A and B are shown apart, each in its own frame.
Chain A
Amino acid sequence: MFSAIRVIKGAGMNARLKQMWLGALAIFLSGVFASSVLAAGPWNYDRQLPDRKAGVKIDLATALYVDFDKQRYYLVDAQGGQLVSFDNTGKFLAAFNAGGELKTPISLARSQKGVLWVVDRADNRLLQINPRLQKVQRFRVKYPDGSWVRLGKIAIDPKNRIFVLDQLRGSVLELDDDLSVKRQFRGGEAFAGFVDFKLKSDGIWALDGRKAQIYHFDNSGVASAPVSVSGLEFPVSLEVDSAGRFYVLDRHAGIVAVYGPAGDKRFEFLGKGKRPGQLWFPEELVFDWDERLCVVDEGNGRVDILTR
């Protein structure tokens, strides 16, 4: 039922050698440039997904799911209608479209039991994909009053609780086992809607993009006063490191800005461009198992991975 697509390149030996030389030259020059771009901060360009030589084409990279247990990356390609997986070295593993069931996937999470949950924007459904049973089910997510949730990003916590972003209302929603809304997490009076959220051991961290404010809800759902972050043009994604620093991705400026826990700006890095280590309409920030920073870059069709 499922089709796994592996890309096999066929080329003559000479052409391949020429390609390799050109590729190596391009990577070297890019590396030189990237290192100069990144010199401003403590982060260094490590690698990209997919590797330039992998021959994998990503049409619209919208999200990255990091599997901490298996140490794998799953890249969501919304326009290509596929999920693309990579191992812990960044090696391309497979491209997967759930037997053609994925139309416009925009976000992915995996439960402890190995079930994949995918938000498909094409029909505003939540897909439950069981790779072991090769079974796909599509669900609507509703509020108790019967109105639909316009699904945005999805995340699953270690207790297998599903959280989604309601794109329309800008709330983070905790779903029950019937995929009904169990709890809502929203901002205060001046709230303009969350554009991203992350689940951490201390609760939910969420970004109000238009107001440039970061909210924290502890594990019992109690909100702290929002932290304002400044100097941003169009913030779209948030990460929080183990030291409590905020990383905010600015889609239009093509930068990652780093703030202290009180919102004090520490530094910013990367920049707008197309070379490795530069960003062109980036969409999401995610830390992997080694707290490497992964930047999902839509315009460049790749994920840049940075190390400290």
Chain B
Amino acid sequence: MMSIFRILQGFVLVWLLCVPFSVGAMECFDCHDAGKFKGEVVHKPVAEANCLVCHGAHVSRFEKLLKKKSHELCLECHQELSSELGGGMVLHEPVRKGECSSCHDPHAAEYGKLLSKTGGDLCFSCHEETHKTFTYSHKPYVDGDCSACHAAHGGSDSRLLKADAGGLCFSCHQDNKQLRSKHLGKDLSGVDCLSCHHPHGGESQNLLRAFSHKPFADKNCRACHDGENDFDNCLQCHEAVLGSFNYAHNHLGVSGSGNPCTSCHNPHVGDRKGLLPGVLGNVCKDCHADTFERRRKSLHKHENWENCNDCHNIHGSNHVAMLIEGQKVCNLCHDQHKGFTHPIGESAIDPRNNQAMDCLTCHNANDGTDYRYYLRGSAERGLCVQCHQGY
């Protein structure tokens, strides 16, 4: 009896191994409308009607009966990408999440590389905030040719540039006498063009960033360049700012031996008042990479989290984490929660450390968390039992 069972088992096994190959190209389109798999560009396995390269015919642990997680499957054939994306590169978010199909249609598409939309239309469908109208625009930007400058899969920094800023620009713009004459005759090799020029567009023909330092706008270079590039150089005009650093925590020590001001502020031009970049977080992450990395991994994050100065006193503060007004910082925006919340303040002492509770006791607005409202634990139980142990 037992041996008959074993023979039957063997037959089933052989059938399972053989059937997928025999199905191969054949009969998928008997059920699945072949018209949906057509386009200007067709993925090679689809063109060859070889569906089983990617899909299992019977069962799978993965969605759409895929044989593997989608990105693992893609990289099986597109092996060149594995080496391209290694070595500590900053990956484009869909690539990092393994969501190749966010941009590429795995079956067929109207555009090259199986892209579902062309150029800017595809990029701006996610990067909506980047889609702006400028008086003067950089040609690749207005043409929607994002990939002229950006590498779609990953780059050496969060901008996903194809090369370092200066090198990238000179791949189109000639470093010639005419260009140098506009830059005081300086040698422009190694210059970071993007520190002054906005690569998408601007209100001036030379695409300079919107806010200029007065001496720069007045072409009075010697106002700053006559002395050392140090803190005192800036204090010559901005002495009043000195008091903003006289706190237990401050950002004076950010530059080692250099000028702490120019670690954050561009001494020539910026995207916003204070000669700062449009996204302030781009400055902060140079030193606080760990915070940005934790935040990146969090499911729920505070909105506008890259505007660090909404909550932090960037020059100095007498509060933990350089918060504005310490624990009261949340009330600056969330005023309605003052009177409708779990008790906070001196009347609600956290039993873990004998400190007054505040919004940040339960919410992690800085890093974000995997829980709604960036709570530090599940609101059903995990968070509350930290203090209410009898609950």
Residues of A at the B interface (CB closer than 8 Å) are 26, 29-30, 52, 60, 62, 78-79, 104, 106, 121-124, 147, 150, 152, 167-171, 186, 191-193, 195, 210, 233-234, 252-253, 273-276, 280-281, 298-302
Contact = CB atoms under 8 A, between A and B. Distances in A.
Nearest to A234: B290
Interface in B192-248: 231-232, 245-248
A301 B247 CA distance: 18
16 contacts: A29-B389, A60-B319, A62-B248, A78-B248, A79-B248, A104-B246, A123-B246, A191-B257, A192-B256, A193-B253, A210-B287, A233-B290, A274-B355, A299-B320, A300-B353, A301-B353
B318 interface: yes
B350 A122 contact: no
A80 B333 CA distance: 27
- Main SS class of interface, A: loop
A121 B246 contact: yes
Contacts of B355: 274, 299-301
Interface of B: 231-232, 245-248, 250, 252-253, 255-257, 260, 287-288, 290-291, 318-321, 350-355, 389
Given A60-B320, A78-B318, A301-B355, A170 B248 contact: no
A100 to B, nearest CB: 17
A275 B256 contact: no
A58 to B, nearest CB: 9
* Residue of A29, A121, A273 with most partner-chain B CB within 10 A: A121
A286 to B, nearest CB: 17
A275 B354 CA distance: 10
B83 to A, nearest CB: 25
B231 A168 contact: yes
A103 to B, nearest CB: 9
Contact of B257 (A122, A150, A186, A280): A186
A274 B353 contact: yes
A52 B248 contact: no
4 pairs of A and B residues whose beta carbons are closest in the complex: A233-B290, A78-B248, A274-B352, A192-B256
A121 B247 CA distance: 6
Contacts of A302: 353-354
A29 B387 CA distance: 11
Given A167-B253, A191-B256, A300-B353, A147 B321 contact: no
A281 B253 contact: no
A8 B36 CA distance: 80
A186 B256 CA distance: 10
A79 B318 contact: yes
B374 to A, nearest CB: 16
A171 B355 CA distance: 35
Contacts of A152: 253
Contacts of B256: 169-170, 191-193, 210
Contact of B247 (A104, A168, A186, A280): A104
Given A78-B318, A168-B260, A210-B287, A122 B246 contact: yes
A302 to B, nearest CB: 7
A26 B231 contact: no
Contacts of B291: 252
Given A301-B354, A301-B355, A124 B253 contact: no
B175 to A, nearest CB: 28
Contacts of B231: 168
B262 to A, nearest CB: 13
A272 B320 CA distance: 15
Contacts of A124: 246
B352 A30 contact: yes
B253 A106 contact: no
Nearest to B257: A169
B252 A168 contact: yes
Contacts of B319: 60, 79
A275 B353 contact: yes
A106 B351 CA distance: 27
Contacts of A191: 256-257
A152 to B, nearest CB: 7
A186 B257 CA distance: 9
B290 A147 contact: no
Contacts of B288: 234
Given A62-B248, A169-B256, A193-B257, 17 more contacts: A30-B352, A60-B319, A78-B248, A79-B318, A106-B248, A167-B253, A168-B231, A168-B252, A170-B257, A191-B256, A193-B256, A210-B256, A210-B287, A274-B350, A280-B353, A281-B320, A300-B355
Contacts of A122: 246
Contact of B232 (A52, A147, A210, A253): A147
B361 to A, nearest CB: 8
Nearest to B253: A167
A276 B353 CA distance: 7
A105 B389 CA distance: 37
B310 to A, nearest CB: 19
A62 B257 CA distance: 24
A227 to B, nearest CB: 18
Nearest to A104: B248
Contacts of A29: 389
A104 B232 CA distance: 23
Contacts of B350: 274
